[in-house]
Amino acid sequence: MKSTILLLLFVESTTAFIVSPNTIRQSVSLRKKYEDMDEEEKAVALEKATKAMTAFTNKYLENTCTKLCSDKSVPAVVIKGLAEHKLTLGAPLCPCRFYDDKEAEAKDGYWNCPCVPMRERHECHCMLFLTEDNAFVGEETSITYEEVIEGSNIQF
């Protein structure tokens, strides 16, 4: 009996490493590059990235004791920009700067959110993480995904 159980456990553990062809195909599609995705896949990826950056923002606000701008469309737009960069560049490069070479900057890391000025001095040029002495600081320390979508739906 014991040996049968041990044998079954052994078989189960070894077959865990054997994946079905369907699983392999699914794993490959999850690692697809953003530019190779179709529109539906891009929309799903963008939603996922936006939710991730929203969660990161809320956590970092808490960690740094900073607050959001009183006008929540400002952080909404920035979070959307961070999500876009995360998808296209592989890193949440600061969307409030112009770069001659975005790919190089994303690899370098200085301006990947949270950028070095923010980490060292709590200076956020994007007005995403505001200290109490900022003229535009609000009272809120979190933003929802729905607020990000609503606030970033603005045309210049």
Partner 1 sequence: MKLLTAISLSLLISSAQAFTAPRRVQRSVSLYAAEGEEKAVAMVSGEDLELLLQNMEQPLVVDAYATWCGPCLLMAPEFEQAAQELKGKVKFVKLDTDQEEEMASRLNIMGLPTLLFLDKYQDDENPDARAVLKGRIEGAMQKKSILDLVEHYFFDGPAPQLF
Query: Given the rule CB under 8 A, which of 9-17, 31-39, 50-58, 81-89 is the region that contacts partner 1?
Result: 81-89
CB of 97 to partner 1, least distance (A): 6
| Residue 135 within binding range of partner 1, rule CB under 8 A | yes
Is residue 105 within 8 A of residue 93, CB to CB? The reply is yes
14 binds partner 1 (CB under 8 A): no
Query: CA torsion, points 118, 119, 120, 125, in degrees to nearest 10?
Result: -10
Closest CA relative to residue 148, chosen from 134, 132, 130, 128: 128
Helices 39-64 and 73-89: crossing angle in degrees, nearest 10, is 120
- DSSP letters for 39-87: HHHHHHHHHHHHHHHHHHHHHHHHHHT-B-BSSTHHHHHHHHHHHHHHH
Q: Give the x-and-dash track for 86-115 against partner 1 (CB under 8 A).
A: ---------xxxx-x---------------
User: Residues 69, 87, 91, 118: which binds partner 1 (CB under 8 A)?
Assistant: 69
- Could you say which of 91, 106, 113, 128 contacts partner 1 (CB under 8 A)? 128
- The smaller minimum CB distance to partner 1, of residues 23 and 150, is found at 150
CA distance 142 to 39: 30
Catalytic site includes residue 94: no
Annotated catalytic residue within 65, 96, 113, 124 = 96
What is the identity of the amino acid at 66? Answer: T
* Segment interacting with partner 1, rule: CB under 8 A, options 10-18, 21-29, 132-140, 142-150: 132-140
Residues annotated as catalytic are 96
